[in-house]
Structure 1
Amino acid sequence: MPHGIDGIDHLVIAVRDLDKAREAYARLGFTLTARGRHTELKSANHTIMFADDYVELLAIEEPSPATAAWSEFLKTREGLAAAALKTADARSAQAELAAAGLSGGEAVDFGRPVDLPEGRRDARFTITQVAPAATPGGRMFLCQHHTRDVVWRSEYLTHENGATALAALIVAADDPEAVAGPYATLFGTRVEPRGVIRVVQTGGAPIVVAPPAALTHLWADDPVLSAPRPCFAGFAVKVKDFYAAQQVLQKSKLPTIAGEGVLRVASRHTHGAAIAFAETFDLARVLPG
C-alpha cells in the first residue's frame, strides 16, 4: 500500500476515567494489560491485545501540546478518537505523506516502561500524524513499533469472550461516499459500494462507512449515533465462538443485543464506543443495504 501503511494497527478509545473504563472492558471478557504510562506524552493506557492488532484505552494524566487533540475530544465525549496505522518506518512514511499532501506533522518518538517477569523494559514507538482532512470522522496516525516483543505478550492474547481480532472500524456519516473517498486515497484502495454503505479495505480490518439509519439496525438508539457526524462510532471484533461469547456477555450484566449472528453492546456501557462481536462480520447480513 502507498504511504508506508500496512493496515490498522490499533484503535484508540479516549476516556476520562481509566479505572472505570478498564473495569467495563474487563466485564466484557477482555484481558487488559497493566496500566502503562507514556513518559513523554503524560498519558496512561490499558491495551486489549490480539494477534495482529489491538484496542487501546487512553486517558490524559497531564495536559500537554502532544495530547491536545485527545483533550479537545474529551471535552465533548468519550469514545473512539483515533486509529493507528501499521508502518515499518514512520519517518519514511511521513516523507511519503508529505509528498502527497497528507502529512499532519513530523514524526515523534516516545515510550512507556513495562514491568515484565524478566525485569522492566521500555516499549518504544515512533508515530507520525495523518492530516485531519484526510480522515473525516476521526484522527489517524502511523505507528511504528520498535519493541513488539514487549507489547505483544502471550499472556495478554487470550480473552474470556474469545476475541481474536478487529473485524471493522465503523464510521457514521450522512454522506458515506464523500467520507469513504479520502480513506480510499490514503490506503490506495477503492470505495466498495454495499447499498447505502461504503467499505474501504485497509490491509487489515476494513473501514465501514454507514449512515445512522443503517447503524441503528445494529445499535438501535445508541447515543454515539447522535454525535456530530462523521464520527468513529464503533468497531467489530471477531470471536472464536458466538455462543461462548454470548455467555460471557450475559454474565457481565451489561445489556447485550443478539441477532443475525452478532452481539451488540451500546456505547453508553463502553465509554463511548459501540461494539459488535461476531464469528464473521457479514455486512450483507447484519447491515441493511
Structure 2
Amino acid sequence: MGHEINGLHHVGHIVHDMDQAIERYRRLGFTVAAPAYPVLPTAPGGPAEPFGVANAHVYFPRGFVELVAVIDDTGRVPGGARPIPLRVPDDKAPGLRAAIRATAAGITSFLERFQGVHIMIADTPDIDRVAARLTADGVGHGGVHDIQRPVETGTGTRMEPARYLEISGPGSSPGRAPEGRIGFAENPPVEAPHEQADHPNGSTGLVECVLCVADTALPDLARRYEAYFGPARPGRVTRFDRANVTVVAASALAGLLPGERPAALPAFVAYAVSVRDLSATEALLRGNDVPVTRTGPAESFVPADAALGAAIIFRQDGHVRVG
C-alpha cells in the first residue's frame, strides 16, 4: 500500500444547531473558525440565496474537525456566518443546485440517525493511485472529484483546489456506507494562518477516529476496512494505523470509553485529538463545567452527552495507545 495514506484528513460532526455547536466547541477549548454557507441565485439574474449546508472548522496543522448543519427552508444561517458565492454559468447552475440539495438531503438522513460524527475522510498525497487501487480490488467508489474549497488567509477568503473520493458501502451509492460517509481527500499545500490555530485546550492534531460495530459485524467490517486502508493491527480492538481508525465491537466499547453507548450501530462514536499538556486540558474543561473522565495516564475523554453526540478523546502529545 506504500505511502498512499497519511492519516486523517478530517472528521465531520453533523449537528442540529450550528450556533449551539460553535458555543459548545469553544467551551471545550477549541478555536472555531467563522461558519460559512453557499449562496447561489435560484434563477438566472435573481438574488443569491443561502441553501444547502453551513459548516465551520476546527483546524490543526494537519487535518480538521468539520461542524456541519443543514440550512432549513427559512434560509436561516448561523450567527456571524460568511456567505460563499458560487459563481457558475447559468446553464450549469441547475446541476450545481441539484448536487448541493442532494448533499443536504444526505446530511439530513445522517442527522435523522443521530447527532454526531458521520464523516471520516483519510488524507492521501496521491488520490489517483488510491482510486486505481480501490478499483483493482473491487471496491466501489464514486471516482475522483475536483472541487474548490474556501480557505481563510491573512488577506481574506480564497478558493483553493481540492480533490476527493467517496467510497460506496455494500449495496450503497457513492458517499454512503452503513456507518456514514467515508473516503479520501488530497489537498495541495496551502499557507493559511488559520490552519495553525492556537487552541485554548492545547490540542495539536486530529489523531484518531473510533467506529463501533455490532460484535457479529466486526469480522466483515474489518475485512472491508483492510481493503480501504491496509492491514489492521490486532488487539483488544482493531486498529488501522495508517488511517488512524480504530474499530471496536459494541461489547468492548465500555472498556475503551467507560459509560459510552452507541446511538446506533455501526457508528462513529468518538474522535481523538493530541494535546500539549493533558493535566492543563483537564483543568480547562473542568473550569468550563465540562465533564471529563481519565482513562489512563495519558488519556481522558469528554462523554458524547456533553459533546453533541460524539465523545472527544484528549491524548497526551506523543503517546501511542497500545492493546
Q: Using structure 1 for the length normalisation, give the TM-score.
A: 0.84
Give per-residue Cα distances to partners, 1:140-162, cap 9 Å, x unaligned. Answer: 12222246334xx2564211111
Listed as ranges, the matches of 1:1-289 within 5 Å are: 1=1, 4-38=4-38, 42-61=52-71, 64-91=101-128, 93-133=130-170, 137-146=179-188, 148-150=190-192, 153-154=193-194, 156-175=196-215, 176-188=218-230, 190-195=231-236, 197-202=237-242, 204=243, 206-222=244-260, 225-261=261-297, 262-279=299-316, 280-284=319-323
Distance in 2 between residues matched to 1:122 and 1:18, nearest whole Å: 23
Distance in 2 between residues matched to 1:7 and 1:168, nearest whole Å: 8
CA contact (8 A) 2:11 2:119 kept: yes
Aligned residue for 1:29, secondary structure, equals coil
Residues 115 and 2 of structure 1: CA distance in aligned 2, closer, same or farther (over 3 Å) = closer
Distance in 1 between residues matched to 2:262 and 2:254, nearest whole Å: 11
Distance in 2 between residues matched to 1:59 and 1:192, nearest whole Å: 35
Distance in 1 between residues matched to 2:3 and 2:177, nearest whole Å: 14
Report percent identity of matched pairs. 28
Give per-residue Cα distances to partners, 1:184-234, cap 9 Å, x unaligned. Answer: 22112x222213x111222x5x21111233222343333xx2422221111
Distance in 1 between residues matched to 2:128 and 2:71, nearest whole Å: 27
Give 1 or 2: higher helix fraction: 1
110-119 or 247-256: bigger deviation: 110-119
Give per-residue Cα distances to partners, 1:232-264, cap 9 Å, x unaligned. Answer: 111121111111111111122122122423221
* Larger Rg computed on CA atoms: 2
Distance in 2 between residues matched to 1:236 and 1:115, nearest whole Å: 25
Number of aligned residues: 276
Letter in 1 for 2:321: D
Aligned residue for 2:122, secondary structure, equals strand
Letter in 1 for 2:303: A
Deviation at 1:114, TM superposition (A): 4.4
CA contact (8 A) 2:10 2:121 kept: yes
Aligned residue for 1:22, secondary structure, equals helix
CA contact (8 A) 1:32 1:46 kept: yes
Deviation at 1:54, TM superposition (A): 1.5
Aligned residue for 2:305, secondary structure, equals helix
Distance in 2 between residues matched to 1:108 and 1:220, nearest whole Å: 40
Deviation at 1:89, TM superposition (A): 4.6
Letter in 2 for 1:103: G
Distance in 2 between residues matched to 1:39 and 1:130, nearest whole Å: 28
138-147 or 230-239: bigger deviation: 138-147
Distance in 2 between residues matched to 1:239 and 1:157, nearest whole Å: 13
Q: Which residue of 2 aligns with 1:287?
A: none
Residues 191 and 163 of structure 1: CA distance in aligned 2, closer, same or farther (over 3 Å) = same
Aligned residue for 1:148, secondary structure, equals coil
Aligned residue for 2:141, secondary structure, equals coil
Residues 70 and 147 of structure 1: CA distance in aligned 2, closer, same or farther (over 3 Å) = farther
CA contact (8 A) 2:59 2:194 kept: no
Distance in 1 between residues matched to 2:35 and 2:275, nearest whole Å: 25
Distance in 1 between residues matched to 2:5 and 2:263, nearest whole Å: 29
5+ residue gaps, structure 1: 285-289
Aligned residue for 1:193, secondary structure, equals coil
Give per-residue Cα distances to partners, 1:125-179, cap 9 Å, x unaligned. Answer: 22221112396533212222246334xx256421111111223211112233332
